[in-house]
């Protein structure tokens, strides 16, 4: 059965979630920068008419104009929601979990050479009070970034650690470990891997996630280490990854979160896969109706109301097909949203609550 909307949050919880953002993700910095450019250009013209040097004002206007472009792009995409989150794009500093806030740690998971992927930073969120020496075993959520993207995207653009802290503190989700890997290949032409095992000589991302990353996380963290206690999610191409990997590996994942996703691997898949048959075999929109489910694989699907109409319709059709196959599906439309991180953050609380509701808490070891 499909639930068409997400949960209604208490206004106090909504206010706490919003505290992870500031004016940086609004249009105000862009407007101020544009006004500054106008002022500098006006000053340059005035200086020239008076026979004074105009180049300092011109140079300043160029610099501020470039800044305005960056601020405008960020206002549109919502990628950096606050000044406090910006340093995470450039710094790999760990934040330890406390009794009331979760920790975020950069880790390095070695990639075997035959997988044709670089070894990069993976970010791991551990919940408040996490103690690796304690007996508690936690459920795990794997969150995949979009393309172009990197592992830090969910800690920055998604404001994921803060959102988890708020939801856990208010008893809306159970404490969980969240793993945020990087799924890019080598070079610009291999950024959009769609989490596939390439058959054209490219990265082996599916094998990396299943055979390397998950065993490493289970070996190094206090995880429940079963499909009943593990989910996979993502945004945009990362959401496609989540659906495809979650449906293809029910032995590993017991729930799926798709935010602004797709029903096929798109252009990235066409570059990574050698044949049309391989492409179809990784297109949930095609293969879901041929699947036999040994157990429930609940799926959350969130879409932007003002994104591409074809993408929305494809998501709706896939949700309907999953429901017809007996899966629990929640479909949530963020009415005024575009395909941006603004929409991802707006949908994330409902997605996390859905995932938590369908993950088993790990018993004491």
SS3 320: helix
- Give CA 304 to chain center in angstroms: 15
Q: What is the pLDDT of residue 55?
A: 86
Calculate mean pLDDT across residues 186-211.
Answer: 95
- Does the structure show a pLDDT above 90 at 1? no
Residue 296 belongs to what H/E stretch? none
Q: Which residues contact 42 (CB under 8 A, 6 or more apart)?
A: none
- Does the structure show a pLDDT above 60 at 8? yes
Q: What is the pLDDT of residue 5?
A: 65
Helix, strand, coil % in the chain, rounded to nearest 5:
45, 15, 40
SS3 161: helix
- Cβ 186 vs Cβ 116: under 8 Å: yes
Residue 133 binned pLDDT confidence (cut-offs 50, 70, 90): confident
- Does the structure show a pLDDT above 70 at 223? yes
Calculate mean pLDDT across residues 11-31.
Answer: 94
User: Per-residue pLDDT tens for 51-104?
Assistant: 888 888 999 999 999 999 999 999 999 999 999 888 888 878 888 889 999 999
Residue 7 binned pLDDT confidence (cut-offs 50, 70, 90): confident
SS3 337: coil
- Does the structure show a pLDDT above 90 at 6? no
SS3 217: helix
- Does the structure show a pLDDT above 50 at 179? yes
Q: For the chain, give the mean pLDDT.
A: 94
Question: For residues 24 and 89, which has the higher predicted lDDT (pLDDT)?
Answer: 24
Percent over 90 (pLDDT), the chain: 84
Residue 208 binned pLDDT confidence (cut-offs 50, 70, 90): very high
A 10 A CB-CB count for 182 gives 22
DSSP class per residue in 271-330: HH-SSHHHHHHT-HHHHGGG---SS---EEEEEETTS-HHHHHHHHHHHHHHHHTT--EE
The tokens for 281 are 């075999």
Calculate mean pLDDT across residues 35-63.
Answer: 91
Calculate mean pLDDT across residues 228-239.
Answer: 98
- Which of the residue ranges 26-30, 83-87, 325-329 would you say has the lowest mean pLDDT? 83-87
Residue 313 binned pLDDT confidence (cut-offs 50, 70, 90): very high
Residue 301 belongs to what H/E stretch? strand 299-304
Residue 40 binned pLDDT confidence (cut-offs 50, 70, 90): very high
Beta bridge partners of 123: 106, 180
Q: What is the pLDDT of residue 135?
A: 87
Calculate mean pLDDT across residues 135-149.
Answer: 95
- Does the structure show a pLDDT above 90 at 187? no
């Amino acid at each position: 059965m499909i639930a068409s909307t997400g949960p209604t949050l208490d206004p106090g919880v909504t206010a706490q979630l919003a505290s992870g953002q500031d004016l940086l993700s609004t249009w105000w910095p862009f407007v101020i920068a544009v006004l500054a450019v106008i002022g500098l250009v006006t000053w340059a013209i005035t200086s020239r008419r008076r026979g004074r040097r105009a180049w300092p004002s011109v140079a300043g206007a160029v610099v501020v104009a470039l800044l305005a472009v960056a601020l405008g792009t960020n206002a549109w995409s919502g990628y950096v929601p606050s000044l406090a989150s910006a340093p995470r794009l450039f710094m790999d500093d760990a934040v330890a979990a406390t009794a009331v806030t979760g920790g975020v740690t950069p880790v390095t998971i070695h990639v075997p050479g035959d997988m044709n992927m670089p070894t990069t930073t993976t970010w791991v969120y551990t919940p408040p009070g996490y103690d690796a020496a304690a007996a508690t075993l936690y459920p795990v959520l794997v969150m995949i970034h979009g393309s172009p993207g990197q592992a830090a995207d969910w800690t920055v653009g998604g404001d994921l650690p803060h959102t988890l802290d708020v939801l856990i503190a208010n008893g809306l989700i159970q404490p969980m470990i969240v793993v945020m890997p990087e799924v890019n290949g080598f070079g610009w032409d291999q950024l959009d891997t769609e989490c596939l095992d390439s058959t054209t000589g490219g990265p082996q991302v599916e094998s990396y996630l299943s055979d390397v990353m998950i065993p490493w996380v289970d070996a190094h963290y206090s995880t429940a280490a079963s499909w009943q206690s593990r989910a996979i999610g993502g945004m945009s191409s990362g959401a496609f990854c989540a659906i495809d990997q979650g449906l293809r590996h029910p032995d590993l994942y017991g729930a799926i979160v798709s935010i602004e996703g797709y029903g096929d691997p798109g252009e990235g898949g066409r570059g990574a896969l050698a044949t049309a048959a391989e492409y179809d075999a990784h297109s949930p929109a095609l293969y879901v109706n041929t699947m036999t489910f040994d157990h429930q694989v609940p799926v959350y699907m969130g879409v932007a109301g003002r994104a591409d109409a074809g993408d929305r319709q494809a998501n709706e059709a896939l949700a309907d097909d999953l429901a017809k196959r007996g899966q629990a599906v929640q479909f949530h439309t963020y009415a005024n949203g575009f395909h941006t991180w603004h929409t991802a953050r707006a949908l994330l609380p409902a997605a996390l609550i859905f995932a938590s509701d369908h993950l088993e808490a790990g018993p004491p070891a």
